[in-house]
Structure 1
């Protein structure tokens, strides 16, 4: 099958999502002749790349939502047999310099989480990547309460970075949104604001949603 065009409407996108529910990533890859890795150690992003390809995501590495025309971000969510997320969810890169004028409203986190297509994937450790089963995808937009939590966590941690206290930030901070190093190895450093406003070298950081928050989103969808 040839690569699908970006969906023109939300209905078209959700039709594609419904069409792949209940099949394995291996079956989906075979259907589209999409290259399959033997294991995910070096190809951790493969499930997401496959789903982006099949659903027609168009953003690539641009800092815009995956379905650019629709303003919708795709997030695949590995879950266990108990229906709980198995890992935190990456949102976006953390800005470590040039923070003047940056606010929650114009932040990459708000843009990415404004409208999300969540796609749960059964991904227990014993399952090979190709054996993982795609669940029922759904659209989500933060409630006022959820956005207030995200905004508070974002502002508290951005303030620490602006004050030169990047090294005080750990995954324990933030009720629903945490900052963690995001680098292939500890040699991949970038500039950040250090003490006294001087530039220091540090690991790149990413914003991640904590698992209890994504679990609450799943519960809100499937238990209500």
Structure 2
């Protein structure tokens, strides 16, 4: 009986498309509760599916009322679970964003500097690798690779200039914006930095100050 019900449920779910996930979860929970209830009575009392169908024909009102009670119970349980999960997520997000502005700004400074170092290091290693290759037979391919490395350097400098602008020359809108939005860090790039051994704790305090960042934008002799 249980296998037949599960097979019928799979066929029904295969034909359902574009349905809200919340409704689908509620439906599955109701179905699961019904199966557990029927399976319990089948194991201990021998009530099979024919018994329940006969009962519905003889007293449909009682079964409809039982279904309503089951539905309300599932909704109450789901609401409690949803409220609990949402409250935990809200508390976690608050603890994540409820930090002083200096924390987000300093973290952003470290990220910008380490990203620049990583991008330049990657491009320079590419240039060095191709310049040390012996028996360079394909000059055009080497020139294309060197051009690609040179383009990566320009991209790293442009990214650095754009990111540092809100630190050196913030406007009124920047000063009024929330810190975790203004000093946003690309999590994908941050993971890439960590994967290559670059840590945000590595730069010293003096290397993330405005004076040092300004000197990187306008080095002596540039």
Q: Give the structure with the higher percent strand.
A: 1
Normalised to the residue count of structure 1, the TM-score between the two structures is 0.20
Normalised to the residue count of structure 2, the TM-score between the two structures is 0.20
Q: Give the structure with the higher percent helix.
A: 2
Larger Rg: 1 or 2?
Answer: 2
